[in-house]
Amino acid sequence: MVSGGANESVNAGKFGLFVESFTTDGVTARSVVRVHGRGIFGGVNSNAPPTFRVTHFYRPSAATTNLYEVNVTIENISSNVVDVLYRRVMDWDIEPTAFREFSTVIKGDSTNLVFTSDDGFASADPLAGPSQILDTGTFIDSGPTDHGARGSASHRTKSVPSEPSSTPARTHGRKPTEAEHGRDHQGRRLDRSW
């Protein structure tokens, strides 16, 4: 198994991956990395061929100006059929109540998304086990406390070589009151959802 990720506060930065490119126009951003796996002493196993190419594309949400969307595409660039495990970890620290946030995660009905929690301090390593601060699954306005969100933990999909596996768009944002949260076309809340 190979893993890679980046988390400045828990994993001391990036591990198991090389940055292929990063571009931004001041409104949108695209990050592309190759996952090689960890070396013996951490860092990147530079002797191993890459297994995945992971692209994150960030853009403002069309639903409301209070949210950003992130689309994630994972490509198997190895010659093997592999399980894809994807994890997203965020510590909110949003002003004016940094370190005392309310967090909402709407897990939805995806069969691939097997774990969500409010642990914004968890390792970014998709092979690390489950953790939580207060809540798991779907929760609304959990807090106030210093926490965040951990979602798409263990997003499992079989991937064959050269076949991209795309995860659904996620939205991230903040509004001070419940009435100001964005809604999708079915009236569901869009803020901080998976």
| Bridge partners of residue 31, in order along the sequence | 22, 56
Look at residue 179 and give its three-state secondary structure: helix
pLDDT in tens, 138-147: 989 888 998 8
Instruction: Read off the pTM.
Output: 0.78
Q: Comparing C-alpha atoms, which of 66, 151, 56 is closest to residue 103?
A: 151
What's the token pair of residue 119? Answer: 């642990």
Q: Distance between CA 139 and CA 107 in Å, rounded?
A: 8
The tens digit of pLDDT for each residue in 83-106 reads 888 888 888 787 888 888 888 888
Element spanning 143, H or E: strand 139-145
Q: Mean of the per-residue pLDDT values for the chain?
A: 78
Of the pLDDT bands very low, low, confident and very high (cuts 50, 70, 90), residue 185 is very low
Question: What SS3 class is residue 150?
Answer: strand
Helix, strand and coil percent figures for the chain, each rounded to 5: 0, 45, 55
Q: Which percentage of the chain shows pLDDT scores above 90? A: 17
